[in-house]
Amino acid sequence: MLILVTNDDGIHSPGIKVLARRLGELGEVVVAAPDRERSAVGHSLTLHSPLRAEEIRPGFFSIDGTPTDCVNLGIHGLLDRRPDLVVSGINKGGNLGDDITYSGTVSAAMEATLMGVPAFAISLAGDDYAAEDFACAAAFALDLATRVVDLGLPSDTLLNVNVPPGKPLGSRLTRQGKRIYGDVVVEKFDPRGRKYYWIGGGELGFENLPGTDFHAIHENFISITPLHLDLTNYRSFEGLASWGLDAMGDFHSQSSD
């Protein structure tokens, strides 16, 4: 087996080292990760500047790009054959609910899925990260990777995994939860009296609904959320049918006055 490992915390993050070492029990592991932290870059792809990859030690490539770049370059440029699996993590901090739209960790798994390679992202939900927490998450990643390879994933599907701190009570299959946003932009003044802003500086809550990723973490369970790349809201079709949207593009039948 060949496993490509990446993250958005950077090549020197402790999480990626523990993850790569544990997944090495399953097969050959190649790490392709950003040269520095790239958190919250989403599914960003570098198109207007060249990328550089440095093999800092055997099988570990440091790339001056985003997590999405790392997966793309890993599959198409660095590896001598197509990987059997891509695993992104172990992220320092949860990727739950609406946060996945910003997450570089999850986006790396999305990029692999777009290329037809099975993938999952794994994160530690919490603020303090003990060595035991990374070890627990890595052990779960190994178990999950084995199942993904043996059983396969549904088409167009990746898994978003979040691990609570401490000793989890087990794991749950969950749906994406919902954030409650407060004042997420903090305005301050520098010593010269000029304004500056911090995005994400406010308190964030969540809707503690059973069956969601947030609820599972709150109950000290590992959350496994299947995500798919088709963002179409099929349930909205009936409500939008009365808008006459299908006829908006019929310009030939409109007057040219």
51 and 38 in contact (C-beta within 8 Å)?
A: no
Q: Which residues contact 60 (CB under 8 A, 6 or more apart)?
A: 11, 20, 31, 33
The H or E element containing residue 3 is: strand 2-6
Q: Which amino acid is at 168?
A: P
Question: Confidence band (pLDDT; 50, 70, 90) for 246?
Answer: confident
Burial class of residue 200, CB neighbours in 10 A (0-12, 13-18, 19+): exposed
What whole-number distance in Å separates Cα of residue 159 and Cα of residue 108? 12
Residue pLDDT, tens place only, 164-182: 999 999 999 999 998 776 6
To the nearest 10 degrees (0 to 180), the angle between helices 14-23 and 131-151 is: 40
Instruction: Compute how many other C-beta atoms are within 10 angstroms of the C-beta atom of residue 44.
Output: 15
Q: Return the closest-CA partner of residue 29 out of 5, 63, 8.
A: 5
Instruction: Check residue 132 and give its pLDDT.
Output: 95
Q: How far apart are CA 27 and CA 74, in angstroms?
A: 17
φ and ψ of 221, to 5 deg: -115, 150
For residues 99 and 118, the model is more confident at 118
Number of H helices, E strands in the chain: 6, 13
Q: How far apart are CA 119 and CA 70, in angstroms?
A: 14
* pLDDT for 199: 76
Is a pLDDT exceeding 80 seen at residue 92? yes
Local structure of residue 165 (DSSP, 8 states): S
Environment class of 244 (CB within 10 Å of its CB; exposed 0-12, middle 13-18, buried 19+): exposed
Q: Delineate the domains of the chain, giving CATH numbers in brackets.
A: 2-178+207-253 (3.40.1210.10)
CA distance 134 to 123: 9
Q: Is pLDDT above 70 for 203? A: no
pLDDT at 231: 87
pLDDT band at 249 (very low <50, low <70, confident <90, very high): low
Confidence label for 197 from pLDDT (cuts 50, 70 and 90): confident
One-character DSSP codes across 103-132 = -HHHHHHHHHHHTT--EEEEEE-SS---HH
What tokens appear for 75 in the block? 């599959």
Q: Do 9 and 129 touch, CB atoms closer than 8 A? A: no
